[in-house]
Amino acid sequence: MRPILEVRNLSKRYRIARSTSLREAFTELPGKLSRNGENGSTLWALRDVSFDVSRGEAVGFVGRNGAGKSTLLKILSRIADPTSGEVDIYGRTGSLLGIGTGFHPDFTGRENVFLNGVMLGMSRREVRNKFRQIAAFAEIEKFLDTPVKYYSSGMYVRLAFAVAVHFEPEILILDEVLAVGDHSFRNKCFEKMEEIRRRGATVILVSHDLQSIKRFCDRVLLFEGGHLVENGEPESVINSYLRLVGQIA
């Protein structure tokens, strides 16, 4: 079967920019000119990464901080541009790269559901149709018309996640968002995501919660220093990761 997502030779170089004020820009000008325009240093966050994802698969990315996982998710979400290489995606994507990032503290729960739902890629009609379900899932019906700045952190997180799991794109991209809420809410989220997958959606997720990865993913990719170093069964790749970080011998 043809993959739904193809990543070929993807690389990303970050320039570490330095000057932030005009004064520095002027004082550094002579140096810049003599170095032929090179400014600061560069960092390869991703180096020549290639892999495919089939439809309906759940794929987890693991690796240490700075291994390139989040950069890869940003490129797949089109938030960052690659330096070289290409990605072809044969479906609509929806990315959740932070919990509650799109929330506005002065807005009510109801308003934030609309705001965040549309930001994630839903239409207003879709949000309206799913509004009851979202509010019920988050268990905040009583506080829908309260500004979210008065919410407890638990309520905040539940509402943010409720919006995200009711958005049903063909490819769902999640960055470190499963480690939220209490145990029972997390179970509820997993059940919802299993349901999304049964309907044929593809899921790509980054997490440091290896138990969740093992439980949910069909395949795991291990990143180290911007390189894709292993791609296979969750059990064996997670063991390689644990060896890498020195957790097991």
Partner 1 sequence: MLERPLELADDIAASAHAEPRLSALPREPVIKIRPQKKSLTEDFKEIWAQRELFLVFVWRDLKMRYKQSVLGIGWVILHPLLMTLVFTLFFGIVVRVPSDGIPYPVFAYSGLLAWMFFSQAIAAGTQSLSTHGHLINYIYFPRLMLPLVNVCVRLVDVFVASIVLVALMFSYGMGLSWRALLFPVLILQLAVLAFGLSAFLARLHLKYRDVSSLLPVILQVWMFVSPTVYPPSLIGPNWRKIYFLNPIAGVIENLRAALFGSPFDLSALLVSIVITIVLTLVSLWAFYAMSKDLADVF
Burial 40-79 (b: 16+ CB within 10 A, else e): eeeebbbbebebebebbbbbbbbbeeebbbbbbbbbbbee
Q: Which of 126, 139, 209, 218 binds partner 1 (CB under 8 A)?
A: 126
Judged by CB under 8 A, which of 29, 35, 38, 79 binds partner 1?
Answer: 79
Q: How far is the CB of 242 from partner 1 (least distance, A)?
A: 30
Residues 15/102, Cβ–Cβ less than 8 Å: no
State yes or no: residue 114 binds partner 1 (CB under 8 A). yes
Q: In angstroms, rounded to a whole number, what is the distance separating the alpha carbons of residues 128 and 146?
A: 18
Count interface residues toward partner 1 (CB under 8 A).
56
User: CA angle, 41 as apex, 37 and 43 as ends, to 5°?
Assistant: 130
Q: What phi-psi label fits residue 37: left (phi over 0), alpha (psi between -120 and 50 degrees) or beta?
A: left
Task: State which of residues 31, 40, 50, 86 lies at the interface with partner 1 (CB under 8 A).
Answer: 86
- The CA distance from 5 to 49, in Å, is 13
- Under the binding rule (CB under 8 A), the answer on residue 17 touching partner 1 is yes
| 4 counts as binding partner 1 under rule CB under 8 A | yes
- Taking the CB of residue 131, how many other CB atoms lie within 10 A of it? 17
What is the nearest approach in angstroms of partner 1 to the Cβ of residue 30? 18
95 binds partner 1 (CB under 8 A): yes
Verify binding: residue 132, partner 1, rule CB under 8 A: no
Phi and psi, residue 150, nearest 5°: -95, 0
Choosing from 49, 72, 73, 76, the residue that interacts with partner 1 (CB under 8 A) is: 76
Closest CA to 200 of 76, 73, 91, 125: 91
Q: Which residue, 38, 97, 16, 52, is CA-closest to 221? A: 52
| Choices 31-39, 71-79, 207-215, 241-249; region in contact with partner 1 by CB under 8 A | 71-79
Which region, judged by CB under 8 A, interacts with partner 1, from 57-65, 108-116, 228-236, 238-246? 108-116
x/- map, 147-186, partner 1, by CB under 8 A:
-----------------------x----------------
Which one among 85, 192, 208, 210 touches partner 1, defined by CB under 8 A? 85
Spatial separation of the C-alpha atoms in residues 115 and 107, rounded to whole Å: 9
Of the candidate residues 111, 139, 209, 218, the single one contacting partner 1 (CB under 8 A): 111
User: What is the phi-psi region of residue 212: left when phi exceeds 0, alpha when psi lies from -120 to 50, beta otherwise?
Assistant: alpha
* List of residues contacting partner 1 (CB under 8 A): 2, 4, 14-15, 17, 19-23, 25, 55, 74-93, 95, 97-98, 101-102, 104, 106-107, 111, 114-115, 118-121, 123-126, 128, 170, 199-201
